[in-house]
Structure 1
Amino acid sequence: MEYLKYNEYKSNLLSQTRNSVKTLNLLNNSVTFDYLRAAVPEKSIKKARYFIITGNGDSYCSALASRPVFENTDRSSTTGMVPGVATETPRAIEFSRYYNTYRGWDPTRVAQYMLLAISVGGSTSRLVESILRMNAIGGQTVAFTQNINSALGKAGDYVVDINTPECDQPAPCVTSYQASLFAADMFGLYVGMVKGFLKEEEANERRNAALEYVNSFGGRVIDEIEEKTFELSCDWLDKGIEIMDFIADGPDYATAFFGSAKMVESFGGLTTIDDTEDWNHINFFNRQPEKSGTFIIANTSSPAFGKSLETIDTITALGRPLVIITDTNEDIFPKSATVFSLPKPKYSWANALMQHIPMDYVAAYMGIFKGETPYRANSEVFNDMGRRIRASELEIIV
């Protein structure tokens, strides 16, 4: 196959990815701490002791990636004590149909729960169901959505308007993911301030540090990432690589999960997602390793970095095509791997805001090369299944 120059290609997914830095700067201007104070009063935050964050698809990735901000892990000591608020991130159906259904709810604690349900469109049935369940039990609920008049927005006690910037649609969404993640991160800092874990100047310093990290991708940096992913995509297409594994641990798992989702949404790629330990128990045995493209996120800030290095050695020994996304120098990794050595943030939770970009670009280029329609939108069957997500029957379990 003959290829154009990388910057001559156009698609909605490419456009959203190229505008990532601009998107987050716009969000920084709209999702302010003053706005969050007005959206969810401090007295309600003070009342809450247990936070549950949930979503579906990209929104669930936002929930997973924002959890460290609520737990305030950048203040954690070597004792492992968590200085922030108790936070859980169950899947939406896990919360709406199973959470505490066996042991029941402690009546002395119910009012101390706060559920944050993330859905950009605000019409996903399981998220609406989750909020209605928490409402029925007696906890507090906050809807994170760009459609405040949606079913989700109307169901929540409070609404945080994600205020997603305008972007080229339809596409496997990058802009909406960044919007929901940034809003959740800033809400986590707001909670920290109200609870007394952070002074206001400390919260503002963290916000500014995250934005400084985002802006470090500007100019030639993001162009170089795109050019490198273009070359990788051309190589993988020519080699017939369509099966892809995504590997990461902790909050980085959310980024790997998001990257795998973009491959599926963009061109119907066959992907799996696992952590560094379980991958060695299962996908290690896949046949045709030379046809299994493998992405691993290996950050030095991760407690599992050592296990990531072990897994990278194993992947290399198997002869798998390997992509490493990292916050450190590429010299420590095998020469056979394609390494994206990205800027390192002051606070590790900010990695999730930008480390998905190499995978977004690969998804975009593979979709273009294969001539696929994102989301299988040219199929009545797939369009109907999408509607079922929003029309699925609600069942409130108390």
Structure 2
Amino acid sequence: MGEQLEAYLNQARSLAALVAAEADGVAARTRLLLSMEEAYGIRQIIITGSGDSYFAAMAAATSIRAWTGLPTTAMVSMEASRYIDHGRPPLAGRNRGLLVISISNSGEAARLVEATHRLRRLGAITLAITADKASRLGQAAEKHLEIPIPAAMPAPGTRTYVASLIGIYHIGIRIAEMLMCMTMDHAEALRRELKNTHVALLEAVKASEPIAAELAKKWASASRMDCLGSGPSLASAHYAAAKLVEAVGIHATPQDAEEFHHLNYFVDDPQDVPTILFAPSSALSHARSLELVDALDQLGRPKLIVTDDSAYCGSQDALILPAVSEAFSPIVHTVPAALLAAHLADLRQVPHYRGHTGPWRGAQNAGLVRNSKIELPK
């Protein structure tokens, strides 16, 4: 299991170099994606994907909505493929005001390929973010932002997730700039800030590694966990829960920090349900997160507060990360999520994805995702 652990740790440690190396190139390529006529015709943006790609959509949707002023929705691929067009025929360009951004590193997820075909047929502008323009998704989409990243030892999606985040953020910045919703200077400042998250990623690894290793020992026997956040940090909660499921096999539940008070607050045996709360100090939801910490204490839940709030310095329940804007916090949150999952899997001596064996053998070569029948209207 040592090789598995090292591969996963190295993915997390490599994120800073990845962002530093790729950000400028991705920014340059986004400038060529849309014409001014196309940009000014956009009336709605849907960002769609599955798994980590959907979490990347969630992470960026609120910021793109704020930057552009356009209705922007993160949508799972099943909804995008089956519940938008409802089999309607093309409507002579009336849907050209819809921009659909489809995210998939492999470009082979069947439901996303289907969604892109169907919505392009409906009249939408379709734009794929993928590592492989020649993939089925690349062929289905009208436009492409290709982000091929250097290969690394296999581990639950980490580098690919951050690459998707870089891509979708840059697209949002460019659209806002084209629509003059922000000045060129503001757009360039955001691009610099996005690239400079590589510094925060380096510091996040240093801060997270010892805490993740220690928490793994304390939480090694847990069978349930909750991951909480709001706004962009809800995407971080989803990502963290996904890594705990994929790498460790723990039943981990992501939940909005507000909704927690309505739902998972009431589960039995709260002392046996470790909880991770993503709570950057710059978040619009930060005051509510502080109240949530009190609720977790009253429940007696073991917890980790992932924050940059210096008020928590010295707390044994806090992981203090470098401060970045709320918009880009999901990039930095990737580090503790991956490191904790890596150490837990190693301590429990379990293979990632259950080794794709036994009852999980159907997932070999992503067969359950890639081989699903693609249904297109006649």
How has the CA–CA distance of structure 1 residues 10 and 332 changed in structure 2, closer, same or farther, with 3 Å as cutoff? closer
How has the CA–CA distance of structure 1 residues 279 and 103 changed in structure 2, closer, same or farther, with 3 Å as cutoff? farther
Counterpart in the other structure of 1:96: 81
Return the offset for 1:210: 2.2
Q: Is 1:322 the counterpart of 2:284 in the alignment?
A: no
Q: Is 1:196 the counterpart of 2:176 in the alignment?
A: no
Counterpart in the other structure of 2:218: 235
How has the CA–CA distance of structure 1 residues 308 and 69 changed in structure 2, closer, same or farther, with 3 Å as cutoff? closer
Counterpart in the other structure of 2:368: 388
In 2: Cα distance, 1:102 partner to 1:123 partner: 22
In 2: Cα distance, 1:154 partner to 1:291 partner: 48
Q: Is 1:244 the counterpart of 2:225 in the alignment?
A: yes
The one-letter code matched in structure 2 to 1:89 is: A
Per-residue CA deviations over 1:148-203 (Å, capped at 9, x if unaligned) read: 1110000100111022232221x101100000111110111111111111233321
Q: Is 1:290 the counterpart of 2:282 in the alignment?
A: no
Moved more, 93-102 or 319-328: 93-102
Return the offset for 1:344: 1.4
Query: Matched residue of 1:126: which SS?
Result: helix
The one-letter code matched in structure 2 to 1:11 is: E
**Contact 2:102–2:129 (CA<8 Å) still a contact in 1?**
yes
In 2: Cα distance, 1:331 partner to 1:122 partner: 41
Q: Is 1:264 the counterpart of 2:245 in the alignment?
A: yes
**Contact 1:26–1:165 (CA<8 Å) still a contact in 2?**
no
In 2: Cα distance, 1:159 partner to 1:103 partner: 25
Moved more, 261-270 or 95-104: 95-104
**Given the alignment, which residue of 183, 186, 193 partners 1:209?**
193
The one-letter code matched in structure 2 to 1:250 is: G
**Contact 1:255–1:355 (CA<8 Å) still a contact in 2?**
yes
Aligned identity (percent) is 26
Write out the 4+ residue segments of structure 1 that deviate beyond 6 Å after TM superposition.
102-108
**RMSD, matched Cα:** 2.5
The one-letter code matched in structure 2 to 1:247 is: L
In 2: Cα distance, 1:88 partner to 1:129 partner: 18
In 2: Cα distance, 1:116 partner to 1:15 partner: 30
The one-letter code matched in structure 1 to 2:210 is: E
In 2: Cα distance, 1:327 partner to 1:102 partner: 47
In 1: Cα distance, 2:12 partner to 2:156 partner: 10
Q: Is 1:55 the counterpart of 2:49 in the alignment?
A: yes
**Given the alignment, which residue of 37, 40, 46 partners 1:46?**
40
In 1: Cα distance, 2:301 partner to 2:206 partner: 26
Counterpart in the other structure of 2:132: 147
Q: Is 1:23 the counterpart of 2:18 in the alignment?
A: yes
In 2: Cα distance, 1:350 partner to 1:216 partner: 11
**Contact 1:39–1:160 (CA<8 Å) still a contact in 2?**
yes
Return the offset for 1:394: 1.6
How has the CA–CA distance of structure 1 residues 394 and 315 changed in structure 2, closer, same or farther, with 3 Å as cutoff? same
1:68-217 equivalence runs, <5 A: 68-73=62-67, 84-99=69-84, 101=86, 109-169=94-154, 171-217=155-201
How has the CA–CA distance of structure 1 residues 146 and 235 changed in structure 2, closer, same or farther, with 3 Å as cutoff? same
How has the CA–CA distance of structure 1 residues 107 and 90 changed in structure 2, closer, same or farther, with 3 Å as cutoff? farther
**Equivalenced residues, count:** 375
How has the CA–CA distance of structure 1 residues 102 and 131 changed in structure 2, closer, same or farther, with 3 Å as cutoff? closer
**Contact 2:279–2:305 (CA<8 Å) still a contact in 1?**
yes
Query: Matched residue of 2:101: which SS?
Result: strand
Counterpart in the other structure of 2:334: 356
**Contact 2:201–2:335 (CA<8 Å) still a contact in 1?**
no
Moved more, 253-262 or 225-234: 225-234
In 2: Cα distance, 1:147 partner to 1:164 partner: 10
**Given the alignment, which residue of 255, 274, 281 partners 1:274?**
255
**Contact 1:330–1:340 (CA<8 Å) still a contact in 2?**
no
Q: Which runs of 5+ in 2 are unaligned?
A: none
In 1: Cα distance, 2:89 partner to 2:140 partner: 23
Return the offset for 1:46: 3.0
The one-letter code matched in structure 1 to 2:266 is: F
